[in-house]
């Protein structure tokens, strides 16, 4: 099959062990993201199969109608709203996805929490400038770590935080709260209680129509000035523009952000990068070797199964 893989930012896909699974296919790989329709048509026009790296490229109806050769979309990770599934179904395009462990993202959450509390980046930069200690950090042990969402990754963040001595407080939909109780974690009395009590809030929600903008300006304003918001999930979980304003006002006092409303962020174009009380990383949550082997390995297995006439992990 003719396969196109886009958005390989690190130029690493060919170096993965699992890439050998595509030896019998004709593969083109691109290291950037294009957003204009004609650019995407030109990139994917000969593709029989497209491998999507998470949600970096949007596949909408207008694009699908311009790709008559396309037979299969194989998604790394779970499919989301960036692919028009109804249009795929109408045009006979099979969509397959898969799932990784989420461990890399959970670890990234903990890394951002610890780096924020101990001022690691600013202190490392001070040392490079010829200076010595300039801040007094804080420990995670004894802090209230609020985890919003109790899915696969949220559960891991809870266990990791507990191992560091944090007091875990969970919020989410009722089914998540019931599961958290069963596993011995405290749940907040209300959303207001969750945001006002937490020293750290870690967002661990999937983005959908119900969760878009679920964290409001009022939620952020209710956080302590000493509190930190961590988001490695999706920027759109927070009301548009609300985090920037909240950080300027000092409630919460700090944020560690790995996701943005428009990605990739080039030329330091996101306003959050201007703020001294925001630690920003370039969506590294799932960017880890073992995780990539898992995500891309499943995506490549899906293609081989399709080529052999056996369907697996089908969404459409």
* Identified catalytic residue from 43, 54, 251, 283: 283
Backbone dihedral region for residue 35 (phi beyond 0: left; psi -120 to 50: alpha; all else: beta)? alpha
Q: Residue 283 catalytic?
A: yes
**What whole-number distance in Å separates Cα of residue 66 and Cα of residue 36?**
13
- Identify whether the C-beta of residue 58 lies closer than 8 Å to the C-beta of residue 80: no
**What whole-number distance in Å separates Cα of residue 143 and Cα of residue 81?**
35
* Identified catalytic residue from 55, 234, 239, 251: 234
Q: Please give the structure tokens belonging to residue 302.
A: 């899906």
User: Which residues lie closer than 8 Å to 113 by C-beta, 6 or more apart?
Assistant: 140, 145, 161, 200, 202, 228, 230, 256
Q: Residue 263 catalytic?
A: yes
**What whole-number distance in Å separates Cα of residue 273 and Cα of residue 257?**
10
CA atoms within 13 A on the CB side of 51: 32
* Identified catalytic residue from 123, 236, 261, 263: 263
Q: Residue 167 catalytic?
A: no
**What are residue 169's DSSP bridge partners?**
146, 186
Q: Which residues are catalytic?
A: 234, 263, 283
């Amino acid at each position: 099959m003719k396969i196109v893989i886009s958005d390989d930012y690190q130029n690493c896909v060919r170096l993965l062990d699992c890439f050998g699974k595509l030896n019998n296919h004709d593969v083109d790989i691109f290291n950037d993201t294009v957003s204009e329709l004609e650019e995407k048509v030109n990139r994917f026009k000969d593709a029989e199969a497209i491998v999507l790296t998470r949600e970096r490229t949007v596949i909408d109806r207008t694009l699908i109608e311009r790709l008559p050769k396309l037979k299969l979309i194989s998604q790394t990770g779970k499919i989301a709203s960036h692919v028009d599934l109804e249009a795929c179904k109408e045009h006979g395009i099979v969509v397959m996805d898969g799932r990784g462990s989420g461990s890399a993202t959970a670890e990234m959450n903990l890394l951002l929490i610890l780096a924020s509390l101990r001022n690691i980046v600013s202190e490392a930069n001070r040392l490079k400038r010829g200076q010595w200690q300039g801040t007094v950090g804080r420990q995670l042990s004894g802090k209230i770590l609020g985890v919003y969402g109790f899915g696969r990754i949220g559960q891991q963040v809870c266990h990791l935080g507990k191992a560091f001595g944090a007091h875990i407080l969970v919020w989410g939909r009722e089914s998540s709260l019931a599961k958290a109780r069963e596993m011995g974690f405290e749940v907040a009395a209300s959303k207001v209680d969750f945001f006002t009590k937490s020293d750290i809030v870690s967002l661990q929600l999937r983005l959908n129509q119900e969760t878009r903008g679920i964290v409001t300006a009022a939620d952020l304003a209710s956080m302590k000035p000493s509190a930190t918001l961590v988001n490695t999930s999706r920027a759109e979980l927070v009301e548009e523009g609300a985090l920037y304003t909240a950080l300027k006002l000092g409630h919460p006092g700090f944020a560690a952000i790995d996701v943005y409303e428009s990605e990739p962020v080039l030329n330091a174009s996101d306003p959050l990068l201007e703020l001294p009380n925001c630690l920003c990383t370039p969506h590294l949550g799932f960017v880890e070797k073992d995780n990539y082997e898992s995500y891309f390995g499943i995506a490549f297995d899906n293609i081989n199964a399709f080529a052999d006439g056996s369907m697996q992990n089908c969404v459409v």
